[in-house]
Amino acid sequence: MIPAAIGGISVVVVFGLMAWVVTSAEQWPRIKLQFFNIDAMIAAFPRVLQGFWVNMQVWLTVLACVLVWALVLAVVRSLRAPWFAPFRLMVVIYIDIFRGVPVLLLVLLFGFGIPALNLPGLPNSGLFWGAVAMVLSYAAYVAEIYRSGIDAVHEGQRAAAKSLGLSEWQTLRYAILPQALRNVVPALMNIVVALQKDVALLSVIGVRDAVREAQIYTASTFNYSSLIVAAGLFLLATIPMARLADYLTRRDRERRLQIAG
């Protein structure tokens, strides 16, 4: 009770002091006008929110594609049959390349480069190709996460499946993957959160997401409050996701402790 009170009071005091120091600074009114101008925020809000809606749609679409594509990569990489060797090698090369190149570079390359080719029969929008770049890049990371989960399943599970006559694919499908996926949920959640804000990278190829809309407002008014609005919207989305990730991680650890105990 008393420690809690001390904690509460000291939080109020420290934060209050910081607020007072900042707001009483000589330059504060200028900072406030530049970044925290309420009128500008209100004016920019509808457009930025509309852009943010694009972010969330792209996020969910890219996320779904990443989870599926990465699973394909991870499965190919973990099948052990000899005739699979060339495919395994392809996946290794893929992962090396797409993990080693900055996402921003890929987004520029795909988002500007491919639409410029005007390939017949393929979509021509920067948004589409930018999103493809994000899928390709993120899937490389997620495939490695899946693989760590697959490797973490005890060898005895494979032995049991094999001794029951399950084929290699059936072993993965029924015995290994369900356990592997459960193992990697906490690690995946961190990727989900990272992706949630990284989709803003698509603004560099002209996709009118929250960041782009905020920049457009900034360009015409020389006021940066619109970017703060966009930042606020991202925080509104990412903080609950991060808390969910923490919760799932904690629950997973408790589950393991229970099994070990």
Partner 1 sequence: MTTPMIDIDTVTKYFGDKLVLDRVSLCVAPHEVVCLIGASGSGKSTLLRCVNRLVEYDYGTIRLDGMPVDDPAFGKTGLQKRAGIVFQSYNLFPHMNVLDNITLAPRRVHGHSRAEAEERGREVLARFGMAGFAASYPEQLSGGQQQRVAIARALMTRPDVLLLDEITAALDPELVGEVLAIIRGLKDEGMTMMIVTHEMGFARECADRVAFLDGGVILEQDTPDRLFNAPQEPRTKAFLQRIIASGRL
- Residue ranges in contact with partner 1 by CB under 8 A: 154, 156-157, 159-167, 170, 174-175, 178-179, 182, 258-259
Closest CA to 109 of 121, 97, 96, 91: 97
Residue count of the chain: 261
- Distance of closest approach, residue 252 Cβ to partner 1, in angstroms: 14
- Distance of closest approach, residue 149 Cβ to partner 1, in angstroms: 13
- The secondary structure of 13-69 as a DSSP string is HHHHHHHHHHHTSTTHHHHHHHH--HHHHHHHHHHHHHHHHHHHHHHHHHHHHHHHH
Residues 6+ apart with CB under 8 A from 180: 146, 149, 150, 152, 153
Q: Which is nearer to partner 1, 6 or 164 (CB)?
A: 164
Q: CB–CB of 133/107 below 8 Å?
A: yes
Q: Which is nearer to partner 1, 8 or 178 (CB)?
A: 178
- Distance of closest approach, residue 87 Cβ to partner 1, in angstroms: 21
Residues 6+ apart with CB under 8 A from 85: none
Q: Which is nearer to partner 1, 117 or 159 (CB)?
A: 159
- Distance of closest approach, residue 53 Cβ to partner 1, in angstroms: 37
- Distance of closest approach, residue 184 Cβ to partner 1, in angstroms: 14
Q: Which is nearer to partner 1, 41 or 177 (CB)?
A: 177
Residue 74 tokens, joined: 């991870």
- Distance of closest approach, residue 189 Cβ to partner 1, in angstroms: 20
DSSP class of residue 205 equals G
Q: Which is nearer to partner 1, 1 or 257 (CB)?
A: 257
Q: Which is nearer to partner 1, 71 or 108 (CB)?
A: 71
Sign of CA dihedral 224, 226, 228, 230: negative
Q: CB–CB of 98/174 below 8 Å?
A: no
